[in-house]
Amino acid sequence: MSFGDPNNPYGQPPQQPPAAPGYGYPQQPPGVPPQQGYGYPQQAYPGYPGVNSLPQSMPGLMMTARVLLYIVAAVQILIGIFAIFGAATINDASNSGEDAFGSNGFSDIGHASAGIIFVVAVLFLGLAGLSITLGVKFARGGQGIRITTMIYGILGALFGVLILIGAADASSSAALVWALLWIGFGGIMAAAMIAPSGSAWFNRPRY
């Protein structure tokens, strides 16, 4: 009697081959949902409880504030350049007056005015650098950029209000337009930072 005979009642039972897993699919324990691949961030979809819908592109109000920052920077650069040329012209005129008539009160006033205009030029160029920096940092910046831009917009709007008050006293239409532009630009920038979309944009996770 052979132990290899399948009809032998005293022989070992035949071995069953193990069940092969499905080709290309990892086996999961029963009742355990499949896990996402390692190294891939979780996707946020709206409409599911407990899942926040994260903005994947810059909101429209944020893009508007960013463009306004670049426009303000261009204006500030132009003002700074013209102010530097003005300060240099006044200083040259004062030097010419000193050469022709000697040092006097007019030349001293001219030098002082040139110095003040030059300081204003440097101030506007520095503000232009700040405007450009804030606009560039919108893409990767955090809450610090948001708060700085909000304060910057509020101060710009207040500056426009001061110009508006002066324009009303002087009855100047050009100053009135200039004041309204500053109020509008500063108000939009501040509103974009205060809006929920702005807060969500600067609070978004960075992968």
pLDDT (tens place) for every residue of the chain, 207 residues total: 555 555 655 555 556 555 555 555 455 555 555 555 444 444 443 444 444 444 468 888 889 999 999 999 999 999 999 999 999 898 888 877 766 666 666 777 877 888 899 999 999 999 999 999 999 998 888 889 999 999 999 999 998 898 888 877 767 777 888 888 889 999 999 999 999 988 888 888 766
pTM: 0.66
pLDDT at position 43: 44
Number of H-type helices and E-type strands within the chain: 5, 0
Domain boundaries, the chain: 60-203
CA 203, CA 207: separation in Å to the nearest integer?
Answer: 13
Q: Are 193 and 65 in contact (CB under 8 A)?
A: yes
pLDDT in tens, 5-59: 556 555 555 565 555 555 554 555 555 555 554 444 444 434 444 444 444 688 8
Integer CA distances (angstroms), 50 to 14, 119, 191, 201, in order:
53, 54, 28, 19
Identity of the amino acid at 175: A
Q: Are 76 and 128 in contact (CB under 8 A)?
A: yes
pLDDT at position 70: 95
pLDDT at position 166: 80
pLDDT at position 77: 95
* Residue 207 neighbours by CB under 8 Å, 6+ apart: 41
pLDDT at position 118: 92
Question: DSSP of 67-131, one letter per residue?
Answer: HHHHHHHHHHHHHHHHHHHHHHHHHHHHHHHHHHH-S-HHHHHHHHHHHHHHHHHHHHHHHHHHH
pLDDT at position 93: 83
